[in-house]
Amino acid sequence: MPRVKRGTKRRAKRKKILDRASGYFLTKSKLYRAAKEATERGLKFAFSGRKQRKRQYRSLWIVRIGAAAKLNGLSYNQFIHGLKVAGVELDRKILADLAVRDAAAFADLATQAKSAIASAA
């Protein structure tokens, strides 16, 4: 079996880690072991952060929809239930955008939700 010295591969691997760690404070951007620990930690937080961002946006949309529904005389859950009964299939992202940018269209949806709840009961 031939002997492998790993010169270029090792250098490339270390260079990649140190490039990712550029901008970190003191040792974390200069020394390989500290940089490796810092970048692994950073990548872990980046992964979980991508999941948290989705949660945070959904909760923001829900708050916005709830506030706009209150202005139209409905609670959030009444509004969503009314839309489901009426057969309106808009997701929360679109509903929140309507609530912020087009109050008239949101008011129309609220009246649809109210009438659907009234007819179902």
Angle at 46 between CA 54 and CA 34, to 5 degrees: 165
Tell me the one-letter amino acid at 47. Answer: F
| Distance, CA of 106 to chain centre | 23
Does the pLDDT at position 69 exceed 90? yes
Mean pLDDT across the chain: 96
> What is the model's pTM?
0.82
Fold classified for 7-120: c-terminal domain of poly(a) binding protein (1.10.1900)
Domain ranges of the chain: 7-120
Residues in the chain: 121
pLDDT of residue 3: 87
Cβ neighbours of 77 (radius 10 Å): 10
Contact 83, 109 (CB under 8 A): yes
* CA gap 119, 113 in Å, rounded: 10
